[in-house]
Amino acid sequence: MSTPVFERIAIIGVGLIGSSIARAAMEKNAAGAVSLFDANAAALARAGELGIGEPAATLEGAVRDADAVFLCVPVGAMGSVAQAGIGAMKPGAILTDVGSVKASVARDLKAHAREGVHIIPGHPIAGTEKSGPDAGFGSLFESRWCILTPEAGGSEAYAAAAQTLAAFWRALGSRVELMDAQRHDLVLAITSHVPHLIAYNIVATAHDMESVTEGEVVKFSAAGFRDFTRIAASDPTMWRDVFLNNKEAVLEVLGRFDDDLTALRKAIRNGDGATLFNQFTHARGIRRSIIEAGQDTAAPNFGRDAPDPPKL
Amino acid sequence: MSTPVFERIAIIGVGLIGSSIARAAMEKNAAGAVSLFDANAAALARAGELGIGEPAATLEGAVRDADAVFLCVPVGAMGSVAQAGIGAMKPGAILTDVGSVKASVARDLKAHAREGVHIIPGHPIAGTEKSGPDAGFGSLFESRWCILTPEAGGSEAYAAAAQTLAAFWRALGSRVELMDAQRHDLVLAITSHVPHLIAYNIVATAHDMESVTEGEVVKFSAAGFRDFTRIAASDPTMWRDVFLNNKEAVLEVLGRFDDDLTALRKAIRNGDGATLFNQFTHARGIRRSIIEAGQDTAAPNFGRDAPDPPKL
């Protein structure tokens, strides 16, 4: 068995992502030990019962001996948790996070920077619609990308720390990409934030019409709608914070989305079948690329309606 | 073995839905024999190779001895196929379809009505993003709803024919609901048509931004975007026809969607976290209802990223 990347890590926030890191780190020997803390005492107790790490009585106790501290809390809470915990961290340790927005988190963490602690924001592009310590699993990060946004122009020790953090994520099965925080926020606005907002929005529209349709939205959801409800079932606090903290990029992408939708509405109104057909044809190409890139299953309906074995 | 509901059915159009009906009808003994026809000779030959029914050389040949004829072609082609085939149908037979729009199809079929042929439009709420005869499977309709929109005030023989068609769909594993065609079109606009349009639209928006982001949309699609690309990978011809033929209901629902999205954009712009949180919280309830109604899996990520067995 190889040496773990870190002797000890601390997971602050034992929800879906935090508890998955804890599980994966132990299963894959990426960390020798895992300290856990959560401001929610019930969640922390549950993580202890699940045996995914060592619950600490205080935030300071959790971070004290850790080589890397992972903040797995909503984006809006990163600053205050960093402020409360960074003073107890040991020299040379890494402070990182898993938030879905990076520029605002980088700013909030840096506001509490301390000599000798390496602040390296990060974002594993992985998750499910479930929340809480029971929802995590150790294979969540396999074949998924993890984006790190270290500051440019840091010291040699800082660059080395970033490499060590990258090695940790690779040990969990992730592919790692270094990126500028602003660019991360624009890319994620289109691949994640706006899709989630659209999903929340159409579920709300359907909810308002539900009174008109007396349960029919739920009944006939297999026609497409059910796909949207899955991502719209994600943690509301986490997503509220994403939109409050990636406002500019989200509004920019939403503006483009709106322009495109206006064009499609016009095509429908005018009975312009050629425009509709051409737009719809493009979409198949992107789907194919995603499957080829190993980022989704090729199985029909994501494999959830198991087909019969093919008859030949 | 019980008696089949129909001695012989004819499937016109051997794509995903048509080939699935053919398979299911034989596997579940809902039909004694299945005739097949498709204007696309290669698709018809492939269906013959797959052994899912008896390919006929002509449309007339396929429908001649059938007790029920299923039109499984794009909505815009229903009228011309009905016109070409109805003359060869036998007295007392049923002419039905599987189109995603019902008012326009009812109108187009009735335009070619013939004494003694019962026209009963239908729509199985089932499918995948795949197309063609290889994509079909016999369990596709299990636990899914099938909506029939028979005309009000028909003869006793007509009502009996509608009951027989309902029995056929039940034999395939479906639950059957009778509904007014206009109501069907409004309900499906929200559960299916607008969700598909939104999915196509956001994939197009991402495609336009892809040049900006150099492949990153595909790479980081696991953050939410990949869900949208699945339904946007559906057959472009079928969907073009849906939007051209359910214009009013689609534009009405799109109008409501747009109003709701404007409110969310305003909340983001104003940093109104309470509004965002409340909207996002509602969405979880609908997801739960859909799972309880047996219309989707409760597995995280639709079960496509297999989690480790829980550790306790």
**Tens of pLDDT, residues A118-130:** 999 999 999 999 9
B52 near B72, Cβ under 8 Å? no
Distance from C-alpha of B140 to C-alpha of B25, rounded to nearest angstrom: 11
**Cα(A113)–Cα(B280) distance, rounded to whole angstroms?**
33
Length of chain B: 312
Q: Which of A71-80, A284-293, B62-71, B102-111 has the lowest mean pLDDT?
A: A284-293
One-letter amino acid for residue B155 of the chain: S
Query: Which CATH number goes with the domain that contains A145?
Result: 3.40.50.720
Global confidence as pTM: 0.91
Q: Give the pLDDT confidence score for residue B214 in this predicted structure.
A: 59
Contacts of A219 (CB under 8 A, 6+ apart): B145, B177, B293, B295
Q: Which of residues 208-237 of B touch A (CB under 8 A)?
A: 208-210, 212-213, 216-234, 236-237
Burial category of A115 from C-beta neighbours within 10 Å (exposed 0-12, middle 13-18, buried 19 and up):
exposed
Residue A116: pLDDT above 70?
Answer: yes
For A136-165, the pLDDT digits (tens) are 999 999 999 999 999 999 999 999 999 999
According to DSSP, residue B175 is labeled E
Domain range for A149 is: 6-179
**Which tens digit of pLDDT belongs to each residue from B98-129?**
999 999 999 999 999 999 999 999 999 999 99
**Nearest chain A residue (CA) to B224:** A192
CB-CB under 8 Å, A229 with B251: no
Query: Band of the pLDDT at A312, cuts 50, 70, 90?
Result: very low
Average of per-residue pLDDT across A261-268: 97
Joined tokens for residue B35: 């005739």
CA distance A304 to A259: 34
Paired tokens of A87: 């003073």
Q: Measure the CA–CA gap between A127 and A125, rounded to whole angstroms.
A: 7
Structure token digits, residue A43: 């969640």
Beta bridge pairs of residue A124: A146
Using DSSP's 3-state secondary structure scheme, residue B120 falls into: coil
Burial bucket for residue A36 (CB in 10 Å: 0-12, 13-18, 19+): buried
The answer to whether residue A273 neighbours chain B at the CB level (below 8 Å) is yes
- Lowest-pLDDT choice from A16-30, A153-167, A225-239, B16-30: A225-239
Hey, is A29 helix, strand or coil? Answer: coil
**Cβ atoms A135, B300 nearer than 8 A:** yes
pLDDT at B144: 94
Nearest to A185 by CA among A140, A252, A234: A252
Question: Looking at chain A, how many residues does it have?
Answer: 312
Mean pLDDT of chain A: 93
Which among A160, A124, A164 has a CA at the least distance from the CA of A140? A124
Closest C-alpha to A304, from B306, B271, B111, B251: B306
Residue A137 burial (CB count, 10 A): 23
Instruction: Answer yes or no: do A170 and A230 share one domain.
Output: no
First-to-last C-alpha distance (Å) of chain B: 47
Which residue among A197, A231, A265 places its CB closest to the CB of B264? A197
**pLDDT value of position A208:** 83
**Residue A311 confidence (pLDDT) above 60:** no
Between helix A194-213 and helix B247-269 the angle, nearest 10°, is: 130
CB contact under 8 A, A257 and B289: no
Question: Is pLDDT above 80 for A1?
Answer: no
Choose the weakest-confidence range: A168-177, A292-301, B24-33, B168-177: A292-301
Is A304 touching B (CB cutoff 8 A)? Answer: yes
What is the mean predicted confidence (pLDDT) over A261-277? 97
pLDDT tens column, A25-42 = 999 999 999 999 999 999
Going from the C-alpha of A78 to that of each of A86, A242, B103, B122, the distances in angstroms are 11, 12, 54, 53
Residues A41 and A133 in one domain: yes
- Give dist(CA B32, CA B44) in Å, integer: 20
Same domain, A51 and A173: yes
Pairs of residues, one from chain A and one from chain B, whose beta carbons lie less than 8 Å apart: 390
Measured CA to CA, the distance from residue A195 to residue A235 in angstroms comes to 15
In a domain, A310, yes or no: no
Say whether both A30 and A175 belong to one domain.
Answer: yes
Distances (CA, A) of B43 to A216, A281, B7, B55: 35, 20, 24, 10
Q: Is A276 on the interface with B (CB under 8 A)?
A: yes
Q: Does B117 touch chain A (CB under 8 A)?
A: no
Q: Which is nearest to B175 in space by CA: B295, B15, B292, B5?
A: B295
Task: Say if B194 falls within a structural domain.
Answer: yes
Which of B77, B66, B130 shows the shortest CA–CA distance to B100? Answer: B77
DSSP symbol at B302: G
Strand partners, B57: none
Same domain, residue pair A11 and A82 = yes
A139, A243, A281 ranked by CB distance to B307: nearest:
A139
Q: Is residue A233 part of a domain?
A: yes
- Per CB-CB distance under 8 Å, the chain B contacts of A211 are none
Beta bridge partners, A12, equal A37, A71
**B307 is a domain residue:** no
Contact call for residues A300 and A308 (beta carbons, < 8 A): no
Q: What is the dihedral of CA A171, A175, A181, A186, to 10 degrees?
A: -150
Neighbour-count burial for A276-295, b at 16+ CB within 10 Å, e otherwise: bbebbeebbebbebbbebeb
A309: confidence class by pLDDT, cuts 50, 70, 90: very low
Specify the long-range contacts of residues A260-265, CB closer than 8 Å, at least 24 apart: A260/B201, A260/B204, A260/B205, A260/B208, A261/B197, A261/B198, A261/B201, A261/B254, A261/B258, A264/B197, A264/B200, A264/B201, A265/B251, A265/B254
CB A287 to CB B206 under 8 A? Answer: no
What letters, b where the CB count within 10 A reaches 16 and e where it falls short, cover B218-256? bbbbbbbbbbbbbbbbbbbbbbbbbbbbbbebbeebbeb
Shortest distance, CA B69 to any CA of chain A (angstroms): 23
What stretch of H or E contains A238?
Answer: helix A236-245
- Give the Å distances, CA to CA, from A89 to A10, A12, A34, A83, A271: 10, 13, 15, 11, 64
Into how many domains does chain A fold? 2
Tell me: do A175 and A198 sit in the same domain: no
In this complex, do A220 and B191 lie within 8 Å of one another by their Cβ atoms?
yes
- A252 belongs to a structural domain: yes
ipTM over 0.85: yes
| Same structural domain, B157 and B31 | yes
Across the interface, whether the CB atoms of B301 and A243 are under 8 A apart is answered no
Residues A40 and A55 in one domain: yes
State which residue of chain B sits closest to A301, comparing Cα positions.
B128
Which chain A residues contact residue B295 at CB under 8 A?
Answer: 218-219, 221-222, 226
Closest residue in chain A to residue B256, using alpha carbons only: A205
Strand ranges, E, within chain A: 6-12, 31-37, 54-55, 68-71, 94-97, 118-119, 122-124, 145-148, 175-178
DSSP letter (8 states) at residue B37:
E
pLDDT recorded at residue B1: 61
Name the domain boundary from B138, B160, B179. Answer: B179
- A133 and A59 inside one domain: yes
pLDDT in tens, B241-296: 999 999 999 999 999 999 999 999 999 999 999 999 999 998 888 888 888 888 88
Q: Please check whether residue B309 lies inside any domain of the structure.
A: no
Q: A149, A179, A209 — which closes off a domain? A: A179
At B143, the amino acid letter reads S
A143/chain B closest Cα distance in angstroms: 10
- For chain A positions 36-95, those within 8 Å of chain B (CB to CB) are 50-52, 76
Q: Which amino acid is at A198?
A: I
Q: What is the CATH number of the domain that holds A224?
A: 1.10.3660.10
Contact A14, A72 (CB under 8 A): yes
Mean pLDDT of chain B: 93
List, as ranges, residues 134-153 from A with C-beta within 8 Å of B.
Answer: 134-135, 137-140, 144-145, 147
Q: How confident is the model at residue A306 (pLDDT cuts 50, 70, 90)?
A: low
| Residue with token string 């990636």 | A246
Per the CB < 8 Å rule, is A205 touching B190?
yes
What residues in B contact A241, CB-CB < 8 Å? 273
Which residues have CB under 8 Å from B66's CB, separation 6+? B6, B8, B9, B10, B35, B89, B90, B93
Determine contact: A1 vs chain B, CB below 8 A: no
The answer to whether B300 and A271 are in contact (CB under 8 A) is no
pLDDT of residue A211: 60
More confident residue, B212 or A207: A207
Task: Write down which residue in A179, A204, A228 finishes a domain.
Answer: A179
With tokens 């859909």, the residue in question is B290
pLDDT at position A178: 96
On whether both A228 and A88 belong to a single domain, the answer is: no
Residue B312 has pLDDT above 50, yes or no: no
B296:A281 CB<8 A: no
User: Do A207 and A149 share a domain, yes or no?
Assistant: no
Asked if pLDDT for residue B308 goes beyond 50, the answer is no
CB contact A265 to B (< 8 Å)? yes
B27 and B152 in a common domain? yes
Rg of chain B on CA atoms, in Å: 22
Any idea which residue has 């030990």 for tokens?
Answer: A33
User: For residue B29, is pLDDT > 60?
Assistant: yes
